Structure 1
Amino acid sequence: MLDKESPETAPHKPYVAFRYVPPFTEDAFLELEKDGVEHAIIFSQYPQYSCATSGSSFNEIYKHYKKRGFPIGLKLSVIERWPTHPLLAKCFADLIKKELQQIPENKRSEAIILFSAHSLPLKAVNRGDAYPSEVGATVHQVMQELSYAYPYQLVWQSKVGPLAWLGPMTDEAITSYVNQGKKTFVVVPIAFVNEHIETLHELDIEYCKELAEKVGVENIRRVPAPNDHPLFIETLSDIVKTHIKNKIPVSKKFLSRCPHCVNVNCINSKKMVF
């Protein structure tokens, strides 16, 4: 799609870089350097920026080049956040509408839309991490597409360890709503763009099946992640096309740090050559 929409910059080649499974960041960058790439766009697949996700990935790229030295002839640019892209909101809204149609008509108007995102430790939030506000911005874009026709709540999942985390937690919210007499839900993984353990197991099995049966939920639907939805593919293509045409290698927001940032790698990663 990108080759078709932006033929003047074609051909475009994707390289995949993961943090914890192959192909690792180092693998991807060694491959593109071997291919003689002149302009690499670092495109985070987290729509909402967090120091723990996108920021960690950019730090990994910095560490790669700190070890090897920056190659001559390679230009880097960055797409580090895209929480309010209108096509992304339309994609989620379309997926939500399809799940709402699966709820019995006489119960549909009672549905509460629970937008579930991976939580953060409160110490990260207090440090200045932009993630909670950006996830909230996505939620409001999606609800605007839905004309705010249903009650909704942003909730958080995947808490680990003893620290205080951002809440309310998804499972606790479901339980509390049932205690209030609300028993119809649509769960939306608003910060994930594809299926993985936190959607297929945590949401589908732990919450929408086991917890729902335990607390007496009557209707619950889990919205798929965007995956290969045509509007999502269009979203990605439009973001890259716009980035190329704007000729702005990195946003001013990315270059600024959290007010209480103490991560040396984060400081130095923002000084990479763009």
Structure 2
Amino acid sequence: MAARLPRLVSLGCKSFRSPFRNLLSFSRANILSSYNTKLSYLPLRYNSHAVAKLKKSVESEIKHENEHLGEKFPDLGQFAKKLNYTVEHVYGEKTVKLTRKVDDHLIVVEFVVDDDYAQPFDENEDMGMEGQNEGENEAQFKDYDDSTSSFSCDITISKPSKPEAGILICSLEIHSEDFELFSVQYVKNLEDSENSYRGPKLTELDESLNSALVKYLNFLGINSDLAGAIAIIREEKEKREYLLWLEGLKKFISH
């Protein structure tokens, strides 16, 4: 067998290379044909007209935004200073965090500026289709106009000096300058929040318990004033993020 092995290899190579060469020849011919007859498939960098048109449009939009916003980025903390909240964020990132201490409570508010991509909340689905009446909406802080834009917001309430007390996680929807409270979740620590019980539907709570819960949150500064500040901060940050996106787009197409 050792003497026949070179012949088998030689025959194998001979039978394999011939069709492969034909395939390469066929593919190369088709590529050259497409290159010469279908110029629309050329890489974008060769289509100078398309690049120039896009760049001009982006530059025009940047100029428009700068004329209305000014080139100086505002300090978002100024919009929550009166409420004693500290604002944490980085331009170029989507998350905004507000923090405040009330007695032994630590309040942390978090939201994102691109929440518009999320599916809108279906009020009927959350409340249930049966047994609805005007009294079932008492969990809301205030009535709101369904036509206004809204976005979600999470608020965690903890007691740093008493970690054994656990944490409350409030899920809210902000409509213009009003809150709608969806749920209040209790967890031992934030790591357990994903798998922990989210709490009951607030519309199904006893009326007195619901009212007491809302008053407790108001005492901690979770009210319409905070909702208004969050709405302003989100709007201002989104404007600047849009401008940064335009500048990034210009930088990409210019290289």
Q: TM over 0.5: same fold? A: no
Larger Rg: 2
Indicate the TM-score class for this superposition, using the shorter chain for normalisation.
under 0.3
Name the structure, 1 or 2, with higher relative contact order (CA <8 Å, separation 6+). 1
Q: When you count strand as a share of all residues, which structure comes out higher?
A: 2
Question: What TM-score, normalized to structure 2?
Answer: 0.26
Q: TM-score, normalised by structure 1?
A: 0.25
Question: Normalized per residue, which structure has more helix?
Answer: 2
